[in-house]
Structure 1
């Protein structure tokens, strides 16, 4: 039935039949579910496809929770970053219990006693089952400065009054490993995003111009990329990190490491963008945009780049764990970030000795969030790539 022959409300339909041929692909001929998909925007279609990838969806939720946590890590961590418990140096992890002698008490830990082995000078800790220390939640505890600006002492979980709570143990200075892992996430996670943002911008701009214009500029860019990709990455990281003056403040070193990681990671993305644009610039819609007077920047940004956005999304999500690993490697080797800044790489420097690992294996726990974050980014990247692929 055409729009011009629509009947009045309540009128019979016998004399209002259209002579137009029936189109099985029209919106009127579709079921409500088919019409919903047909009329959905590209973003909504991507979201529907991404939700079907359960592993990618759970990975995205896990990463979102981590990035939300770094905003309030002072509240989440049981202790301040620099709090030292000198009576509990190299204390092993404490188990959380709920029942004591058959009675439900709630989450608590047992107090600890320390004895010193005079032969090996090793501290031995034993649980005192008579000392029940209930954990407190949403409580006032160790003082801190929220983002280094606002004083506070409110925590999600606190040890009992005059008690201890070392869920992942302590290090050589008696600092809580769990709290330091939570604080270290703020640096390790943000350095990956900042580095990828910098390399993403460089890769898209340089690769886009090289692929669109070609010629001498493309030749120069390709030779630069080949030289950078032929250099061993780890020695190059070490060389660039070593030239940073030791007098720089920790925050300047942080941005310097981010800049180094971004400068060395843009080449792969630039080459991929360049190869795609070499093929897409010959399409008819590019010629039409040129004839209409569109500038190269608009053609690249509005017409060419969206054509392979799925590849760009996958490349960006996979590059983030590479940045985190790069920072971890530099800090582990002593040429990256320096205290008082704390990252997962700096925490792993405590476990560089085989003897330390043998006696205090909990110092390797900062490796667990590194592995989980890298896996989560890879799974989420697979889901985003499939969701943004227009041929799927």
Structure 2
């Protein structure tokens, strides 16, 4: 009787799956394969081991794909959006979404609107087959600057007539394209979250590292300060600080002030985690060796100790982004964060707070769905990174 052994996958335990050997550079060519796999794992870098483990997490991989998609939206928002956030047609307020259609004679197009007004002055829209608005890819439209540097007028999809308007996701109360505003709002909300998390990450790593490395009075002072910050109710403090921002301040300055405010209370948990790691690592042999080799305190902290748990920091960073995005969305929804003409997901959700919108224009609730998808995707990626970076996980 022949006994067939099952290989563990690179980066973790469990039986091997079809295709994993080829992906890891090994071939299923006989009994010598397990030894070669073991040797490959022993010589692999930490980043490769983390990747091998991360890709086994199906939800994390799906979340990574969604996250990359939204990052592309952030980078190429002007190219992806058919119009700017201010372009409108007041004749089509709360117009429903138009469904693209294709025919060999007409190409890609959408049907225009026919509308009538009832006795309650409500406008009802129906598709008009006689009106056909042609759509084109890479069409010329409104001018913009890609990355703020390159003048362009090409858009991924839009009407061939530059004066026409199409509403693939419907229009808002003044006739602006909801799809274009949603794309630009996603850019603002995600970039605020990223900037806020980067600032909080820097504070948490520096203060947590100093606290854990030096200990004693320094540790006591920093920990008492962290406890004080954590004891302050988060939402009321955010509301008070954002309400103190002058109304007349420009959108760019308000953007960075909101990012700073969100980061001021988002660093405490990471600082405690970094402190615990430093307390554990400062007695390790490699730290003592660095000391004896003449390394400075700064070098020991940031060149030897900190890189030893970089994977954990990346996972913590990824998991903290959704919280900052939700905070910005909540503040803008309450009217204390981003304000028009700047659009964010919270600003768009603020426009959808009336009963009339829920009854007449439910497509204006799509920003809430985008928030849910973004937060879930980032949480899945963070969970996958945390599990993959855990050296004690089997």
Q: Which category of TM-score, normalised to the shorter sequence, fits these structures?
A: 0.7 to 0.9
Alignment of 1:120-139 (within 5 A): 120-139=120-139
Asked whether 1:64 is paired with 2:64, we answer no
301-310 vs 196-205, greater mean Cα deviation: 301-310
For 1:112-137, what per-residue CA distance to the aligned partner results, in whole angstroms no more than 9, with x for missing partners? 112222x3221111111233333211
> In structure 2, the residue corresponding to 1:75 is in which secondary structure?
helix
Asked whether 1:86 is paired with 2:81, we answer no
Q: Match for residue 209 of structure 1?
A: 210
Q: Is the 8 A contact 2:139 2:160 kept in 1?
A: no
Shift of 1:252: 0.4
Q: Is the 8 A contact 2:50 2:388 kept in 1?
A: yes
Which structure is larger by alpha-carbon Rg, 1 or 2? 1
Separation in 1, partners of 2:153, 2:203? 42
Shift of 1:163: 4.8
- Does the C-alpha gap of structure 1 residues 114 and 301 become closer, same or farther in structure 2, counting only changes over 3 Å? same
Q: CA RMSD in A?
A: 2.2
Q: Is the 8 A contact 2:111 2:129 kept in 1?
A: yes
Separation in 2, partners of 1:133, 1:207? 59
Separation in 2, partners of 1:147, 1:301? 33
Alignment of 1:292-371 (within 5 A): 292-371=293-372
Q: Match for residue 78 of structure 2?
A: 74
For 1:129-187, what per-residue CA distance to the aligned partner results, in whole angstroms no more than 9, with x for missing partners? 23333321121234445456655331111125365421111111100000001111221
TM-score calculated relative to the size of structure 2:
0.85
Equivalent in 58, 61, 65 of residue 54 of structure 1: 58
294-303 vs 336-345, greater mean Cα deviation: 294-303
Separation in 2, partners of 1:200, 1:244? 24
Shift of 1:260: 0.7
- Does the C-alpha gap of structure 1 residues 311 and 42 become closer, same or farther in structure 2, counting only changes over 3 Å? closer
173-182 vs 126-135, greater mean Cα deviation: 126-135
Q: Match for residue 254 of structure 1?
A: 255
Shift of 1:54: 2.8
Report the number of matched residues: 361
Separation in 1, partners of 2:351, 2:185? 14
177-186 vs 379-388, greater mean Cα deviation: 379-388
Separation in 2, partners of 1:71, 1:273? 31
Unaligned runs of at least 5 residues, structure 2:
1-31
- Does the C-alpha gap of structure 1 residues 88 and 324 become closer, same or farther in structure 2, counting only changes over 3 Å? same
> In structure 1, the residue corresponding to 2:167 is in which secondary structure?
coil
> In structure 1, the residue corresponding to 2:139 is in which secondary structure?
strand
Shift of 1:204: 0.7
Separation in 1, partners of 2:315, 2:348? 29
Separation in 1, partners of 2:230, 2:165? 50
> In structure 1, the residue corresponding to 2:131 is in which secondary structure?
strand
> In structure 2, the residue corresponding to 1:93 is in which secondary structure?
coil
Shift of 1:106: 4.8
> In structure 1, the residue corresponding to 2:341 is in which secondary structure?
coil
> In structure 1, the residue corresponding to 2:76 is in which secondary structure?
helix
Shift of 1:372: 0.9
Q: Is the 8 A contact 1:111 1:164 kept in 2?
A: no
Q: Is the 8 A contact 1:310 1:386 kept in 2?
A: no
Q: Match for residue 5 of structure 1?
A: none
Q: Is the 8 A contact 1:80 1:143 kept in 2?
A: no
Unaligned runs of at least 5 residues, structure 1:
1-27
For 1:86-113, what per-residue CA distance to the aligned partner results, in whole angstroms no more than 9, with x for missing partners? 11111111222346xxx88654322111
Separation in 2, partners of 1:96, 1:55? 31
For 1:296-334, what per-residue CA distance to the aligned partner results, in whole angstroms no more than 9, with x for missing partners? 222222332233334322211111111111111111111
Q: Is the 8 A contact 1:93 1:167 kept in 2?
A: yes
